[in-house]
Structure 1
Amino acid sequence: MTVANQVQPVAHARTYTRSDFTALRAFVQRVPAPTIARLYFTEDEDGHEPTPGWVESYLRRMQAELVELAMEHGSPVLADHLKASARAHGSARLTSISLKMVEEAASLAVARPSAAHGVGMWFRPLVARRLKSEGVATLGELIDFCNRRGGSWWRAVPRIGAGRARHIVAWLRHHEDAIGRRVDEDVDPADPLAGPAAELVQVDGSSRALVPLERMAVSRVLSGIDGTNRAVAFPYISARHDLDAVRAYLYRFRQQPKTLRAYTKELERFLLWSLKVRQKPLSSLLVDDCEAYKDFLSTPDPAFVGPKAPRVSGRWKPFASAELTAESQKYAVRALRAAFAWLVNVRYLAGNPWAAVNDPVVVEREAKLRVERAISASLWTRVRDFIDGRCDQEHGSYWRAVRVALLLGGDSGLRREEFALAQRANMSPTTFGDPDAPVWQLTVVGKRNKERTVPVSPATVGALAAHWRDRGLDFHAAETGPLLKPLFIPSTTRAKLKYRETLDLPYHPDSINHMVRWAMRRLIAGMADLSASEMSFLAGTSPHAFRHTFGTQAAANDVPLDVVQRVLGHASLQTTSIYVQAEKQRMMREAALYYSPKEMAPT
């Protein structure tokens, strides 16, 4: 009997939620009250502030009520035990086992979910806070939110991934009778690692098909069901074959989209090579196979290489270039070694053949960051002036969005993913700078899931205000929403499913690359004063170049290095110091003196 999942009659007015019972069990197990308050209570619980003192008092009252009902309605043995404990200690002391017996004996009802209930009553505080940040305060509003946005509703909520979204939707459907509202059928988020059965393509040595991981199907012979490296011990994952095992590994990174994309790329490349070139299942590969793949990385087969194309396209290829850098080859080997190590740890594989493979040799660079990608101060000023001029001409609204992206990178040092996902709720003015045009501050979550706050220039704030006017909104009056948002939705079925008419989704980070390429082509064609070298430089400019631009120009203007480090979010000051060119310039200056002609007496 699980009291927390059933509705039963009670002899008193109070009802308790599933979170209440979970919190009480933690309390009985002597988990500190501050921890319980943070994990299981939110500010709207019964209108009380979830302070540790209030939580402890609330749980003691709850425990006393449970014990009272258990003594009245439970077995004589349990009643005698509780009375004896009360006489000895002043109140009945419970263990985890006796608490379960008390819950069953008391037959307490759990509050039935209602459309008017706050999300904090039923979901963990972390989830509830994220939902509330998007204006979703009740279960009814949550269902409306899901139905309005469809299967990708979770993308509009910061750091709610597809996996967590599936659990939320499943819970809402389970309680739809009590809530009195229904979640639409199309709301289930699709698994990004496995496509619909109708889109699967069988990949083997005899077929010419090359498809991404989510569209792969494999024959039994190559599936790995009978792989020679399969572990004989009890497995920790329920993977039937190699595709299941690979997806189980990648699922660990579902809350880290950038890492997920990178690891998916490496594993699908290796899997395709294993099936089509080696014609062996992944779970039968040996050290010599891995060594062969390492050689393959240096010169990929032309059939595996092609220009970038959508993953749903028949033109998709696993490699966009036939010339992988040594660093990229080393990354691939290390990513595969780590994946195989995990498969060994969960007892899917018996051993890790990559453990015996050395990393490709890589030249240790003098500078790990390629700061030569930074735009010079002169070119940066001319680029900004050109874009400002285009904002009032054809495609002006898109140019205004481009201007926001470039300034968030070039004036605030943000990475592509950071400014693509930045939210208005995390931005506010400061008291610094010109009173009429102050510096603002923006909090973002960067690499390693570390939060940091960066300055936002008055020019960027002005650009944001113009972009928000294009969206029909007042930036200064708004409290929520993505800083950058697409203004136009493609007419394709896929786009319509992703972007509902009222959906407030930000740009996808990959769309920022397209935006920058679009702008660079027009800069090269439209700026009359560009030199040949500047044209070549702009043709290869990526969103990350603007972050390097901030670092280089801030250091050149004597901004303290520790300040630059904080803005850029570098873990080490040594990484930031690469932007300081003074020592390199001094070295070259001294060398020039040494090489200069000297007046020497003839010999």
Structure 2
Amino acid sequence: MKIPNRPRKLHSGHFAFMRALVEGLDEKTAWERYVRIEGEHSDARKVKSTIAWIRAEFAAAARREAKPGTARLVLIDTALIKDDVVRPTLAEFAAATGMEDFSEAEQAEAYRDAYGGPSRRGSRRAQLVKRQIAALRWLEKLVARAPQPADPVGVWLTPKLAERIESAGMPTLFALIERINSLGARWWVGIPGIGGLKASRIIEWLQLYQSDIGMTIGAHVSKPRMQLADFELAAVVAPATALVPLEKFLLPRELDGSAGAFRADARLCLLAAKNDYEAIMAWLGSKKPGPGGTESPTQRSYRKEAERLLLWAVLERKKPLSSLTVEDAQVYVKFLADPPASWCGSRYNQRWSPKWRPLEGPLKPAVLRQSLIIVRGLYSFLRDQNYVVGNPFKAVPLPREASRALGSRRTLTFQQWEFIRQQLGQDPDNAAARRCDRAIRWLYASGLRLAELVDARCGHLRRIQFSDAEGKASSGLLLDVTGKGEKTRSVPVAQILLEELSAELAIHCSHSDPLHPENSAVPILAKFQRGATALPTAWSHSGLYKAVRRFMGQCADRAGEADAIAIRKATTHWLRHTHASHALNGEPGKPEMRVPLVVVKNNLGHASLATTSLYLATQEEAQIQAMGQFWAKEIPPAR
């Protein structure tokens, strides 16, 4: 996309720079102090062209004000006016000051301004400096502009720099500052032609004018993301009655639900909640937390739905949550199916970011169905506690649940998985790369959900003794897992996975055995750090998801065209689907690899065999494969 050229504006820094030069400050110091956003001072052509542009803009402004004398005056370079030098000719003087287009009379007048009589050269220079300073101050009041948030970046930054920023989707200063605040210190990553140095100079310039722009560069931008404390991130977005996360949302008193239309008798309410926000928090608190009191996947999923509903009720419907009717509920369903763009944003915008939004886009029928089920559950809880008198979403029909084979479109073939497996261990050897490799092996080998693997600890592993089919003593490993609905199950673990974990523990912990009591609290996917004395922390859900997606993208770049599309789409949940499909159907030609349906059902944590059986090859697929074998043998080739 071609970015249109826009006339650049003069800001106070340009005037300060030129005043410094007129007063005799050396060029490099003046450049670094006032206009380093223009580029490197070591680029002599850049410096020369920038000074020429500024002088030309000054002169043009003076002409517009019918001040030809001032226009001539600001074009004179006082550095050229020195004692004991041979005076230039009038033509040389005009060329040096960029006055070729002026009349000869105007050139002569400027020449006299610059040099005067032969015996008064030094005093004439001092007078010239004084007059230029006065002229620059007059021009600054006349034409200097303060940047505004809606200004195109091209009117303030150099053309090349502006083009790169605009091409990256930031046409205005508002959009630029929003990206910087949203992504933090490394906001510039992914913008071609902009590195850390240019990025730091852009921020310096924006900070200089942030009071004029009316937008502040957050303090969090000054440090890498990993060095920021939670309170520093929390300060990025202020609490408001706006599209902000639940923990930042300020309920207006008149819409807080303390006097909701469908509130039950407060004397019979079993909740201490005084308003809708507190009632929602009580509902979320009734769900089992994650390890160490952290937010569990269930709480996170439920919070997301309650958050959307509360924001919509207050901001769009202008009603308390406890005043919503059946008709409101019907409108809400349509809203989720087709939300406005202002409500949507990337899933990668974290909750501390100003770009966070409650939705990514329209909800697909299956996702919308789950959303309504959770919202129904919220109102059922509130009704059961006598907080509200009814459930408006109970009367709203759920979207029909589509029936399809669970893994039919999100499963890797055996050949694709084998290619991915060969790529494991190819990255540079470090703790993060090894952790990603282990995560992918665990997800494929066990069929665990992302959250289940992140929450797994060494203390959840146990070894059991048993006799094999031939009566010989044997042993095996199990991982105790708490899955959906707080249901527990035991999932077999491959010995090779334990050995890989043991090798990591040998590097970072006192004991290499994952079953040792001192390792019981160590996460299976721990973020190990050499020399660390504190207990290693678990990999975050988003960190694991992003790492797997990044690895699959790298694999896709190396794969053949036919497989690259599927591999690039693969996520952590694809590995769960792939585990189920490969285990149940077995590799073609190797029926002995098939795992019994009931075993796979347990690995996945399904409530019924019917759900697990959806991973089996469909009847149509089985027909095609069987007939393909028949055709290959029985139908002769055409002559």
Q: What TM-score, normalized by structure 2, do the two folds share?
A: 0.54
Q: How does 1:76-91 map to 2 (within 5 A)?
A: none
2:384 matches 1:339 = no
* 3-state SS, counterpart of residue 409 of structure 2: helix
2:336 counterpart residue number = 297
2:525 matches 1:484 = yes
2:407 matches 1:370 = yes
Q: Match for 1:468: what amino acid?
A: L
Residue number among 493, 514, 522 corresponding to 1:456 in the alignment = 493
* 3-state SS, counterpart of residue 387 of structure 2: coil
Name the CA shift for 1:229/1:449 in 2 (closer, same or farther; >3 Å): closer
CA contact (8 A) 1:202 1:219 kept: no
Deviation at 1:450, TM superposition (A): 2.7
CA distance in 2, matches of 1:291, 1:239: 27
CA distance in 2, matches of 1:554, 1:458: 18
* 3-state SS, counterpart of residue 446 of structure 2: coil
Deviation at 1:246, TM superposition (A): 1.4
- More displaced stretch, 213-222 vs 585-594: 585-594
2:578 matches 1:538 = no
CA contact (8 A) 1:228 1:283 kept: yes
* 3-state SS, counterpart of residue 565 of structure 1: helix
2:200 counterpart residue number = none
Deviation at 1:396, TM superposition (A): 3.0
Q: Match for 2:503: what amino acid?
A: A
1:17 counterpart residue number = none
Deviation at 1:211, TM superposition (A): 0.8
CA distance in 2, matches of 1:582, 1:324: 27
Residue number among 504, 508, 512 corresponding to 1:467 in the alignment = 504
Q: How does 1:417-566 map to 2 (within 5 A)?
A: 417-429=451-463, 440-476=477-513, 478-479=516-517, 480=519, 481-487=522-528, 502-525=534-557, 527=558, 530-555=559-584, 556=586, 557-566=593-602
* 3-state SS, counterpart of residue 329 of structure 1: helix
CA distance in 2, matches of 1:547, 1:270: 31
CA distance in 1, matches of 2:236, 2:564: 46
Deviation at 1:295, TM superposition (A): 0.6
1:135 counterpart residue number = none
Residue number among 356, 361, 383 corresponding to 2:420 in the alignment = 383
2:239 counterpart residue number = 201
Name the CA shift for 1:298/1:438 in 2 (closer, same or farther; >3 Å): same
2:286 matches 1:252 = yes
1:310 counterpart residue number = 350
Q: Match for 2:403: what amino acid?
A: R
Q: What do residues 359-415 of structure 1 show as CA deviations (whole Å, max 9, x unaligned)?
A: 23x253132x2343222212212211211233xxx2532221112111111112222
CA distance in 2, matches of 1:512, 1:448: 23
Structure 2 unmatched ranges of 5 or more = 1-229, 291-295, 587-592
Name the CA shift for 1:431/1:386 in 2 (closer, same or farther; >3 Å): farther
CA contact (8 A) 2:276 2:321 kept: yes
* 3-state SS, counterpart of residue 364 of structure 1: coil
CA distance in 2, matches of 1:294, 1:449: 28
* 3-state SS, counterpart of residue 443 of structure 1: strand
2:431 matches 1:397 = yes
Deviation at 1:542, TM superposition (A): 1.3
Q: Match for 1:211: what amino acid?
A: V
Name the CA shift for 1:588/1:484 in 2 (closer, same or farther; >3 Å): same
1:580 counterpart residue number = 616
CA distance in 2, matches of 1:560, 1:337: 37
Name the CA shift for 1:532/1:346 in 2 (closer, same or farther; >3 Å): same
Q: Match for 2:390: what amino acid?
A: G
Q: How does 1:245-284 map to 2 (within 5 A)?
A: 245-255=279-289, 257-284=296-323
Q: How does 1:15-30 map to 2 (within 5 A)?
A: none
2:441 matches 1:407 = yes
CA distance in 1, matches of 2:386, 2:615: 46
Deviation at 1:566, TM superposition (A): 2.5
* 3-state SS, counterpart of residue 373 of structure 1: coil
CA distance in 1, matches of 2:392, 2:491: 44
Deviation at 1:233, TM superposition (A): 5.1
CA distance in 1, matches of 2:630, 2:318: 61
* 3-state SS, counterpart of residue 388 of structure 1: coil
Deviation at 1:338, TM superposition (A): 2.0
2:240 matches 1:217 = no
Structure 1 unmatched ranges of 5 or more = 1-191, 204-208, 490-499
CA distance in 2, matches of 1:466, 1:395: 13
Name the CA shift for 1:356/1:518 in 2 (closer, same or farther; >3 Å): same
Deviation at 1:311, TM superposition (A): 0.9
CA contact (8 A) 1:200 1:216 kept: no
CA contact (8 A) 1:397 1:470 kept: no
* 3-state SS, counterpart of residue 318 of structure 1: coil
2:270 counterpart residue number = 236
Deviation at 1:507, TM superposition (A): 1.8
Q: Match for 1:570: what amino acid?
A: H
Name the CA shift for 1:442/1:286 in 2 (closer, same or farther; >3 Å): closer
- 1 or 2 for the larger relative contact order (CA 8 Å, sep ≥6)? 1
CA distance in 2, matches of 1:440, 1:198: 46
* 3-state SS, counterpart of residue 565 of structure 2: helix
Q: What do residues 485-543 of structure 1 show as CA deviations (whole Å, max 9, x unaligned)?
A: 01359xxxxxxxxxx96133222333211221232232233x2xx12342222222111
